[in-house]
């Protein structure tokens, strides 16, 4: 049971970031989006059962992962405003009607809160300088900087990060999971790479020196985008001065880099968090 992995309130006053998006490797691994969401749900319940806060920077499109996480927290979370933090970059909350933000907060209710950020990553009220209608999409460079500001805000307000899946193409700015991994490493916070679903998390795990030999390159994939390739090189460089912190031994790290089983991922992350917290 998830509830037995961490003592009650073991994560009290601890906010853990979650980085995730659909992996392009699911089909060739014999998995689908249902397996991916099952793992996300179990990881979310791990944090909630330990009394912690889950922090998520996503978007509010109905087919995205934000509605799923909100539903998981409403179903399994505590009724306090520290269970889930949904953080929206400027370009994200401005692309939807104001009422969509309000509806998301109402759905989340007493289980958490939705935070809207300014262009430079400061908290603002959702209705600041806007009406109901969505606003035009900003220029690519502005959008990239706004997403970076959101990720910097999250790292400043979290004490670690769980990472799973991740796309390899079609980035709106810098590759999101790679940038979040870099910011987490520089902040010397625990970083858990649940690479069993492939995607960018597996690429980051490989760059970190973990054993990803089980995942061969996709023969159908096009050449890796320069933004992703450059970001992974930055991860390797950063690790020379900011080593990966997990609280896990080499065997557990290898297991976390291979397994797609939600219960095993939750067990390993729980074990690592317990070790990291015990050292404080």
E strands along 108-190, which residues? 112-117, 123-124, 160-165
Cβ 85 vs Cβ 54: under 8 Å: yes
Per-residue pLDDT at 2:
45
Residue 2 lies in a domain: no
Share of the chain above pLDDT 70, in %: 94
Mean pLDDT of the region 169-190: 90
Residue 25 lies in a domain: yes
Residue 227 lies in a domain: yes
Cβ 181 vs Cβ 235: under 8 Å: yes
Closest CA to 190 of 47, 30, 34: 47
Sheet of 53-57, strand order? 123-124, 112-117, 84-88, 53-57, 15-21, 160-165, 191-194
Per-residue pLDDT at 1:
40
Banded model confidence at residue 81, pLDDT cuts 50, 70, 90: low
How far apart are the C-alpha atoms of 216 and 213, rounded to whole Å?
7
Residue with tokens 């400027």: 90
Residue 220 lies in a domain: yes
Structural domain that includes position 182: 7-278
Taking residue 106's Cβ as centre, other Cβ atoms within 10 Å add up to 10
pLDDT digits (tens, 9 = 90+) for 224-235: 788 898 999 999
**Statement: residue 270 has pLDDT above 70:** yes
pLDDT digits (tens, 9 = 90+) for 192-230: 999 999 999 999 999 999 988 888 877 666 667 888 989
Residue 202 lies in a domain: yes
Residue 130 lies in a domain: yes
Total domain count for the chain? 1
pTM: 0.92
For 65, residues 6+ apart whose C-beta sits below 8 A from its C-beta are 20, 21, 37, 40, 56, 58
Residue 1 lies in a domain: no
Q: Is the dihedral of CA 169, 19, 176, 244 positive or negative?
A: negative
Residue 23 lies in a domain: yes
How far apart are the C-alpha atoms of 206 and 262, rounded to whole Å?
21
Cβ 190 vs Cβ 156: under 8 Å: no
Residues shown for the chain: 280
What are the DSSP calls for 9-20, one per residue? TTTTT-EEEEEE
Banded model confidence at residue 185, pLDDT cuts 50, 70, 90: very high
Cβ 243 vs Cβ 216: under 8 Å: no
Per-residue pLDDT at 126:
96
């Amino acid at each position: 049971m998830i509830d037995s992995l961490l003592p009650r309130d073991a994560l009290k006053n601890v906010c853990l970031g979650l980085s995730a998006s659909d992996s392009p490797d699911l089909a060739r691994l014999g998995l689908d989006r249902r397996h991916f969401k099952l793992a996300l749900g179990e990881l979310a319940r791990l944090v909630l059962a330990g009394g912690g806060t889950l922090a998520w920077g996503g978007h509010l499109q109905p087919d995205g992962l934000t509605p799923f996480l909100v539903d998981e927290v409403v179903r399994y979370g505590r009724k306090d405003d520290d269970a889930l933090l949904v953080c929206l970059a400027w370009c994200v909350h401005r692309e939807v009607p104001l009422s969509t933000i309000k509806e998301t907060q109402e759905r989340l209710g007493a289980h958490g809160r939705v935070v809207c950020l300014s262009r430079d990553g400061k908290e603002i009220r959702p209705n600041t300088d806007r009406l109901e209608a969505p606003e035009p999409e900003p220029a690519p460079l502005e959008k990239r900087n706004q997403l970076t500001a959101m990720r910097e805000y999250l790292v400043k307000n979290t004490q670690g990060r769980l990472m799973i899946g991740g796309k390899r193409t079609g980035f709106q700015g810098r590759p999101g999971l790679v940038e979040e991994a870099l910011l987490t490493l520089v902040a010397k916070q625990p970083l858990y790479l649940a690479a069993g679903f492939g995607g960018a998390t597996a690429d980051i795990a490989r760059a970190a020196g973990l054993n990803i030999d089980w995942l061969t390159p996709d023969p159908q994939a096009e050449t890796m985008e320069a933004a992703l390739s450059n970001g992974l090189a930055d991860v390797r460089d950063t690790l020379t001065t900011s080593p990966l912190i997990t609280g896990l031994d080499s065997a557990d790290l290898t297991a976390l880099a291979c397994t797609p089983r939600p219960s095993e991922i939750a067990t390993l992350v729980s074990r690592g968090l317990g070790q990291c917290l015990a050292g404080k």
